[in-house]
Chains A and B, each alone.
Chain A
Amino acid sequence: MTGAPPIVEMKDISISFPGVKALDAVDFRLFPGEVHTLMGENGAGKSTIIKALTGVYKIDEGEILVAGEQRRFGGTADAQAAGIATVYQEVNLCANLSIGENVMLGHEVRGPLGINWKATHRAAAEVLSMLGLEHLDLRRPLGTLSLAVQQLVAISRAMVTKPKVLILDEPTSSLDATEVAHLFTIMRRLRDQGVAILFVTHFLDQVYLISDRVTVLRNGALVGEYPIRELDRTTLISKMIGKDFATLRSLGSERQSHHYEPRGEPLLRAEDLGRKGSSEPTDVELHRGEVLGLAGLLGSGRTELARLLYGADRPDSGTIWLRGKKTDIHSPTAALNQHIAFSSENRRDEGIIRDLTVRENLVLAVQAKRGWFRPLSRKEQDTLVRKYLTELNVRPADPERPMKYLSGGNQQKVLLGRWLATEPDLLILDEPTRGIDVGAKAEIQAAVAALAAKGVAVVFISSELEEVVRLSDRIIVMKDHRKLAELENGPHVTAETIVAVIADEGDDEEGEPE
């Protein structure tokens, strides 16, 4: 880092929403040519600070200086004009337009006869090659690319305006290791060109790999700004959650010593369960009180298998025996009636209902199961809601707040509450901890462990292999939409074991499936 003045300086920023102070007199500085990571739990104010900087939220107090000049952002366009570009966690591109069109959307090169497509594509190619993506065919529809490459295209798109500041809000949450490495190469290249990068992630390893400095927030207040070299992991985590993280560790050892021996008849037995094009016929067995981990890379078929078990997609082969009886699970309603619940990995589109309140979101599945003509009384609702908001430590514990105003981790907890309220015997959790902070993660993992102890069978899917190993009794390793191996968990099993299983089988692999 040079002694250059900061490109962005935010001083004493305060933002309030009805009932909450989202940011309380926070200072933040960003220098040209650095990767600066914003750390904090969900609800700490990371998104709020980004939205203040991109002009989405108006600041109540404080000032924003860009390149030494005071700025008032009336909207996102003002921030863009000031040279601040943003790439959000979820890719905001048009899947049915071509790559080139997506990159240049709104910046097409115009000639006397309207858009000059040739020049536009040339410009797109230039930006893409700047990011090392020159191998992409500009005319291919974006939707045919993997999510990871789409994410890189989204970054290219942000670079079209040659911004001085690039904000990357959790760009890595759906990428696998090689894809993350590629992204980091690109980030370093941009940094060396003098771009100031503001990076948000929940993965600690990545923070240490890429950052120059970090700013830590907690509960809307600034904890501090540190060069990454002067901050070890334990200190960083304790600064984020404001207490030590012994909970996480004790949980791991507790689960592994717990080790469950399945006895008797399985709760669920599936034979040759499959669906053409999404899941090869697979056998699954699940016992009460057991956590079954599904491990594998993104796109390995974990989600597809889980969806078949819940009836979210209809299987076209195989049989399911539930509690010893042959059962047809053809729809989510049928599954819920059989005491099976499924939490989708796609929290935004298949989980929460943004405009309903926390209370309504929480009772929805129970209510759907009872049928609309047998409404839960307000008292019953309140009891349920209070129970799960306390048990899962949802913050703020306000049942009447619209779901969209909750942070990701808290939304996930409400969703978990929704499924627990249906009193499932089998709970399928697809990436329940993706994109949420250490504290909420520990709480969700603890909830899973507690459920298994109570006799619920849990299917746990996660891209974080350590997490799968920490929680599961048994692990199914998947690849290319089929079951590769089934491992009994124990002290000898680690994340490396699973990686080895996937890698061994993959000698003849000709590249990523996606």
Chain B
Amino acid sequence: MTDLASRLAARRGTIVRNQAFWGVVAIVLLLAINVVSDPSYLSIGYNDETGRLSGNLIDILRAAAPILMIAVGMCLVVATGGIDLSVGSIMVVAGAVSMELLHGMDGTAGDAALTLAIALGIATALGAVNGILVSVVGLQPFISTLVMMLAGRGIAKVITGGQNTTADNDSFAWLANGYVLGLPVVFLLAIAIVVLVALLVRRSALGLMLEAIGMDSRASRLAGVNRRGLQLTVYSVSGLLAGIAGVFATASVMTVDVSRTGYLLELDAILAVVIGGTSLAGGKFSIGGAVIGGLLIATLDKTVVFLGIPASATPAFKAVVIVVLSLLQSERVRSLFRHRRALRAQSQKEAVAA
């Protein structure tokens, strides 16, 4: 083998070992499947009058926005060795609060801003409660956030009186349905927030501290890392981001569905984080990976609908895709493949020699 070829092979090795790589492959494959079933799937239309882009890809980006939000929050929590099961329920609380407030208002932009602030404030507070349970009280993250997951949906039902409240406010709806530069506002906002969080984490020492806690919380405590403060922070941030996701999810239809908004989305967020290559055991994390994971899940959801897979088979289809992806990411499975390839190469050589 020439020098160049071996260098390329080594390079390929690092790319293939990068876990997010397989997420990208999966997205491309899913899109390819869609193209096969409808060659015009990827085409993007442009409406001269409204200045909007439209098409399946744009729909996917719009659908990805809430998942990106909660996946990024989840990624930070998972880095510390925790987990946040309550994000779906915090979404519905934020949605319920905003719809209930807007319902009684006049529909001005000021009302929208005030509502947004209150809804996000409450979401952050719920996240902080998780944080306190985990860091100060010392409960296990799984239990603390499970409690919040169950309580959250209850709180939402109390807020709306069990109704699916609907409201009218154009400014608020614009958050989810508006367009800037031809792209949906909700996606642009999501990307802006993701970039902001990523910069904050990587440009400050926050990322290092979170990883240190996730890898070895006793050693980091003795090194002076403020575990409590940081845990409180990440759970609060996760709550805040879930609140934003909840606003996105309800603003698009201006209705909060107390039993369906954000339902089981925490699982999507966890999947997105794992697909992105962050271990649930904590430690090294990748926000970029979580973004890819979030995009993959949105693509998957849209594909399921597009291919007309019956609703009852949807979870199974999703599960198959994710299991295959996890297998590809597993070091063990890959080494098995390598081993078989090596064996085959060897037997070929032997055949030639004979």
Contacts and interface: CB of A to CB of B under 8 A. Distances in A.
B220 A364 contact: yes
B284 interface: yes
Given A349-B219, A364-B208, A333 B230 contact: no
Interface string A418-448: 1000100000000000000000000000000
B221 A332 contact: yes
Given A355-B283, A355-B284, A376-B205, A368 B226 contact: yes
B225 A368 contact: yes
A353 B204 contact: no
Nearest to A341: B224
Interface residues of A, number: 31
B29 interface: no
B222 A350 contact: yes
B223 to A, nearest CB: 4
A469 to B, nearest CB: 28
A65 interface: no
Nearest to B216: A353
Interface residues of B, number: 22
Contacts of A149: none
Contacts of B215: 353-356
A472 interface: no
A352 B219 contact: yes
Contact of A349 (B205, B218, B224, B230): B218
Interface in B211-270: 211-212, 215-216, 218-226, 230
B206 A372 contact: yes
A353 B226 CA distance: 16
Nearest to B284: A355
B81 to A, nearest CB: 12
A332 B223 contact: yes
B349 interface: no
A344 B221 CA distance: 12
Contacts of B203: 375
Contacts of B284: 355
A353 B224 contact: no
B219 A367 contact: no
Nearest to B209: A372
A370 B208 CA distance: 13
Contacts of B208: 356, 360, 364, 367, 372
28 contacts: A336-B224, A349-B218, A349-B219, A350-B218, A350-B222, A352-B216, A353-B216, A353-B219, A353-B220, A355-B215, A355-B283, A355-B284, A356-B208, A356-B212, A356-B215, A364-B223, A364-B225, A365-B223, A367-B209, A368-B220, A368-B224, A368-B226, A370-B205, A372-B204, A373-B204, A373-B206, A375-B204, A418-B223
Given A353-B219, A356-B215, A360-B212, 6 more contacts: A332-B223, A350-B222, A355-B211, A360-B208, A368-B220, A372-B206
8 A-B pairs closest in CB distance: A368-B224, A336-B224, A375-B205, A372-B205, A365-B223, A372-B206, A368-B225, A364-B223
Interface of B: 203-206, 208-209, 211-212, 215-216, 218-226, 230, 283-284
